[in-house]
Structure 1
Amino acid sequence: MVAALLLIMYQSLLPGLLCVCLGFLGSRWFSPRLGVLTRSPDHRAPKLAATVVTLIPLILIAVLLPRARGVILDAPATYRELLGFMANTVLELRERLPFDIAAQLPAGAADVQRAIASYLASKAGTLAITGRAWLSGLLFAFVGLLIGALAAARPSVIPLRPLTAQLHLRLTRFGETFRQIVVAQFWIALFNTTLTAIFLLVVLPLWNQRLPYTMALILLTFAAGLIPIVGNLICNAVLTLVGLSVSPWVALACLAFLVLIHKAEYFINAKVIGHSTHMGVWELLAVMFVMEAVFGPAGLVAGPLFYAYLKKELEASGWV
């Protein structure tokens, strides 16, 4: 399992792995419900569920792609522009702040501004070459979903031989960990994204204020929301900086709104994820810091999942 997970990270197959688990658990969730709804025999319900799970993304793509093609295919270019926009906002910080506040900034603040802007510009340059990787990730995600759905539809073989039994046990534990962390984090991210969309598309326009790159910010909120703790910090920084490009008061409103909804998220995180996986905040932060240093942004997503699985294996063996 350790070798397989490392191989997945080094070959950038994490989207495929997550979608394998999603396809498998989704098919298993749909199977009994579709069986009752359609009155299908027990051996046909899993195949019907696998078909539904496989067709759902294809139907969504067919319906949404004509309208959201630019958002999906041009995402790397859009976020590259957003990072450049944020870099310019940081450089123009003194001009955007009220004079009384700007005058209080220390002389060394300009160097800090240039350092932050250079960092954002470097990340924008990295995004310039990720277009093909982005499309490959989408392909791996769909193939993973298909594999997971087909695995769920496969009839169980009993009794299991020793190697198969051990693999089944490990995969079962990994699936439980995925359900506890990723599924819970998905609903948290969806909750966060819904409130953010209402704030950006409804509340701010009522004040005659609009943020640039609104759709990109909403999608970023969902993607960052899948990362425990750190994702909230990323959302706070990006939305506040973009709000600052409009006015200091909009930036303050964005920050206040984000603090309020993220307080609710911390409560949900502590209750849902921390309680079910026995992980403390310091453990999550340490693991994500190391995984991000080794594997880049993908490590931020994989870190909590892999660590929780490792801890589950050690607890089952009586080591911790």
Structure 2
Amino acid sequence: MPQSLSGPRKASYALFILVLVGVARYELGPCLLSGLVSYMILDLTERRLRARGSRPLAARGVALAVFAIMAAGLAWVFVEFLRVGLARLPVLLDTVLPRLTALSEQYGLALPVDNARELRDLIVASVKENAASVGKTSGLLTRGFFQIVAGMFAAVMRFLSPSGAPGQTSLFDSLCVEFSARVALFVRSFERVVGAQVTISVANTFLTASFLHVMGFPFRSFLTLTTFVCGMLPIVGNVISNTIIVTAGLTVSVQLAMFGLAYLVLIHKVEYVLNSRIVGGSIDIPMWMTLLGLVVGEAAMGVPGVLLAPALLHYAREELRAIPAASMASEAALPRDNARSAA
């Protein structure tokens, strides 16, 4: 183990931190997250195939095919979600609005609409009154989609680029080697975190789907798909899926809707703690530190920050473990020794 950190390695740490600050400052979280997930799928598939004896070229081709299939599958899930949602939501509203009207009359409450047509007219009027906000939201969605596509293409291009290390004949070459080492370690940390988060997401969807079938909720297929898609958004997604599920329960009875709401709140509270415990156990980080990282990540980058925070914690821990304490102590003592010599 070296007793001191080289100049290029120190510069690579500074460059890595600068990249993270730029991602947070310019809201490039979707691009970074998309690129990481895409490269993780490509790299992990290739490494597994090569470990089983596949030729490098064949392993790389199969990895690209697997990535294309998974990307197409996720795109199909989102398109199917939109198609089913556009077909089911009007039926759901037409069913629940009469019940809401009856409840409002029973408890003396006033509703802004009485049927789906009036609700549609209200939405159209609201859109016209808030055209600037709607345009800004549309622009953000378009920008997010572009960032996701750009991240995917960047990951594919990096995967296809030559992996041989350049000759360390200049400071730039040495910096490239050190920075690549930082990125490789961060990708490994991200792989560990994603494995734990996928487990939690699947468990959440399974528990919700089982509850919907046991309690006899209507539109079960649509609600299960909604839970899966919205589950990718840890904060806003839970609110959206819970609202739709409770609304579906209200088409049957108020009791079913309230029971469903209580169950969903309970499993999401358990899921949040379980998220910290499972992810924290996977990366060997205390649960309180993981929770704090989730809060800071959400404040810095929003939803992508929640997904990236555990990986950054694991990465920071691995980097600190790789730095010998003796080197830091010797570097801290060096300025004092120089000052004494000058005196």
TM-score over 0.5 (shorter chain) = yes
Report the counterpart of residue 45 of structure 1 in structure 2: 58
What's the CA shift for 1:31? 2.2
1:163 aligns with 2:175: yes
- Unpaired runs of 5+ residues, structure 2, are 1-15, 108-125, 169-173, 329-343
What's the CA shift for 1:264? 7.2
**Separation (CA, whole Å) in 1 of partners of 2:167 and 2:295:** 39
CA contact (8 A) 2:81 2:225 kept: no
> Where do 1:118-197 residues align within 5 Å?
129-158=136-165, 161=168, 162-197=174-209
Report the counterpart of residue 334 of structure 2 in structure 1: none
Aligned length: 275
**Separation (CA, whole Å) in 2 of partners of 1:296 and 1:24:** 22
1:27 pairs, out of 42, 48, 55, with: 42
Report the counterpart of residue 300 of structure 1 in structure 2: 306
Offset from partner CA, 1:128-157 (integer Å, 9 cap, x none): 732232233233223322322332333421
What code does the residue aligned with 1:186 have? V
Give the structure-2-normalised TM-score: 0.60
What's the CA shift for 1:174? 0.6
CA RMSD of aligned residues (A): 4.6
CA distance 1:279–1:32, change in 2 (3 Å)? closer
Instruction: State the secondary structure of the residue aligned to 2:175.
Output: helix
What code does the residue aligned with 2:259 have? A
What's the CA shift for 1:182? 2.5
**Separation (CA, whole Å) in 1 of partners of 2:147 and 2:270:** 33
> Where do 1:1-320 residues align within 5 Å?
1-31=16-46, 41=55, 43-56=56-69, 59-60=72-73, 67-68=80-81, 70=83, 129-158=136-165, 161=168, 162-200=174-212, 202-204=213-215, 206=216, 209=218, 214=223, 217-219=226-228, 221-224=230-233, 227=234, 238=243, 242=247, 247-255=253-261, 257-258=263-264, 261=267, 265=271, 269=275, 272-317=278-323, 318=325
Instruction: Tell which structure's C-alpha radius of gyration is larger.
Output: 2
What's the CA shift for 1:222? 1.6
**Separation (CA, whole Å) in 2 of partners of 1:128 and 1:16:** 21
CA contact (8 A) 1:289 1:300 kept: yes
Instruction: State the secondary structure of the residue aligned to 1:223.
Output: coil
CA contact (8 A) 2:29 2:304 kept: yes
CA contact (8 A) 1:20 1:145 kept: yes
**Separation (CA, whole Å) in 1 of partners of 2:280 and 2:37:** 21
Offset from partner CA, 1:48-96 (integer Å, 9 cap, x none): 0353145225643785676555579x9xxx9xx9xxx9xxx9xx9xx68
- Unpaired runs of 5+ residues, structure 1, are 100-120
What's the CA shift for 1:283? 2.0
